[in-house]
Homo-oligomer: A and B are copies of this chain.
Amino acid sequence: MKVLVANRGEIALRVMRTCRELGFPSVAVYSDADRDSLPVRYADESVYLGPTLASESYLNIAAVIDAAKKSGAEAVHPGYGFLSENEAFARAVEEAGMIFIGPRPETIALTGDKLAAKRIAREVGLPVLPGRDLPVDEAIPEDMAKGVTFPVLIKAVNGGGGRGIRLARSQEEMVQMVAAAREEARAAFGDDTVYLEPLVKNARHIEVQILGDGNGQILYLGERECSIQRRRQKLIEEAPAPGLSLSQRHHLFDAALKLAEALNYRSLGTVEFLLDPQGHFYFIEVNPRIQVEHPVTEMVTGIDLVKAQLLLAAENQLHYTQEQIRLNGWAIEARVLAENPELDFMPVTGDITHLREPGGPGIRIDTAMYTGMAITSDYDSLIAKVIAWGEDRQSAIRRLQRALGEFQIGGVPTDIQFLEGVLQSESFQVGRADTTYLEDFQMVPSGEDSANQEVAIVAALIAHNRERARTLAAPKGESASLWRGAAWREQMNGH
């Protein structure tokens, strides 16, 4: 089965790796920015999509369908983001006679409408947050505000993944924000419908991985906790969720199963819940695609989720029963982002001038980064995922810490030190961090004084050497040869 991967970056490479293991030829697609990307080099073939702007390449349904036809692909894997939750795309793939590796288009449509998904969840008995499952109308704010308890969240019906959520603390704020949210939703999702949802204070984010064959068989593959979020973007995820009781977990699995059965779910999906401090769960949404954080589930179940997706697409059946799915140990993922922690974690751009990846026991690295790669602002700032497995949570944390310390990325600042700070914080260590944890998280300055002095020594020695080179050697053309030359090596070793 020839598979076109309609994505880029680490997830494209990750899908292609399993394709290769299964002997399925893979086809990469690329924009101008990704001409030399690792997925392009890894795939058996590649097709140019269009300009760098996502709307003209990775979000361009016609271009992707054309590429798939041109390459003779039999199936299309959408990855996450881009067109992965686009009903029209899934339909176009099927209408072009190819297999869409994901849920049926109607499932994507339904789960994409967050209110519709909540309605169905409510119908089949899942705990759903109180409040009307209705779109809000900006024309009648006073009326609308009746019965609303503040603070309240304003969410886009076609949003999801934490994007475009606003928190209103008063009726006045709500009125303003509904207008702004509609504006943003129209631009981002092409639909300005928004709805209100009560804020669950100090909620934890827990999600259940499901896998269905579209013919009634549904499996659940344990839960993940993704409470460590910044600006509603997940940063650290783990499986299982710490501190849940057996009955809580079965309650969760039952709920996910019920909803998936109601949808006669096909392929991979994630049912997301909030857990309030009193231990109550509330259904939030369904993500009808593979998740960024899927590796933690793979590591504790031993099941390659992409392989399950691909084999289901190729053979129309799952190769597991619920009894065969056993959880083993603990896995934690940390997202390495090209961000400047000194500048409020703003995404940064630059070239990767040096790279050394972690290795050794229990460590998995998913990345499409390479030395010389340009980090641009065109797509998102995720540059690598570091996933650690350990026999228990403590071992997994220590391994992840060890691996993050080994990860050398030169050329752009990253959030690695911040991730390390979170991992070593008391609340994370005991498994009690909720989704608000990072809002006022402060890094504990940790014995970096000695490192600062070392940095000062290095900077002074390099400055000294440059100056000397300037004095002794030819006055021009010095920059390129800054770091080389036997003379320098001898001089510096001589100390």
Binding site for B on A (CB under 8 A): 13-14, 17-18, 20-22, 42, 295, 298, 302-304, 328-329, 356-357, 359-367, 370, 389, 391, 395, 398-399, 401-402, 405-406
Contact = CB atoms under 8 A, between A and B. Distances in A.
Nearest to A388: B21
A13 B304 CA distance: 29
A21 B406 CA distance: 12
- The 3 A-B residue pairs with the shortest CB-CB distance, nearest first, are A21-B398, A17-B360, A359-B365
Given A329-B302, A391-B302, A402 B17 contact: yes
Given A329-B302, A398-B22, A13 B367 contact: no
A419 B483 CA distance: 38
Contact of A366 (B13, B357, B359, B391): B359
Contacts of A359: 357, 364-367
A112 to B, nearest CB: 28
A175 B328 CA distance: 56
Most buried by B among A20, A22, A42: A20
A356 B366 CA distance: 13
A298 B361 contact: yes
A222 B363 CA distance: 22
12 contacts: A14-B361, A21-B395, A21-B398, A21-B401, A22-B398, A42-B406, A302-B329, A304-B361, A304-B391, A357-B359, A359-B364, A359-B366
Contacts of A303: 391
Given A13-B360, A359-B365, 9 more contacts: A14-B361, A18-B361, A21-B395, A21-B398, A22-B398, A42-B406, A302-B328, A357-B359, A362-B364
Contacts of A329: 302
Contact of A328 (B328, B361, B398, B406): B328
Contacts of A22: 398
A329 B367 CA distance: 25
A304 B389 CA distance: 11
A357 B17 CA distance: 14
A42 to B, nearest CB: 8
Contact of A364 (B295, B361, B405): B361
A304 B362 contact: yes
Contact of A360 (B328, B366, B405): B366
Nearest to A23: B398
Nearest to A324: B391
A367 B406 CA distance: 13
A366 B357 CA distance: 12
A301 to B, nearest CB: 9
A42 B21 CA distance: 33
Nearest to A319: B391
B363 A399 contact: no
Contacts of A399: 21
B302 A402 contact: no
Contacts of A18: 361
B367 A402 contact: no
A302 B42 CA distance: 30
A298 B303 CA distance: 18
Nearest to A357: B357
A145 to B, nearest CB: 49
A356 to B, nearest CB: 7
Nearest to A303: B391
A300 to B, nearest CB: 10
Nearest to A305: B361
B402 A361 contact: no
A329 to B, nearest CB: 6
A306 B351 CA distance: 38
A356 B328 contact: no
Contacts of A362: 304, 364
Most central of A20, A359, A364, A370 by chain B CB within 10 Å: A359
A406 B41 CA distance: 11
Contacts of A21: 395, 398-399, 401-402
Contacts of A398: 21-22
A406 B389 CA distance: 22
Contacts of A298: 361
B360 A364 contact: yes
A154 B431 CA distance: 59
Contact of A405 (B20, B363, B370, B395): B20
A298 B390 CA distance: 11
Among A20, A21, A42, A364, chain B packs the most CB atoms within 10 A around the CB of A21
A401 B406 CA distance: 26
A328 to B, nearest CB: 6
Contacts of A367: 359
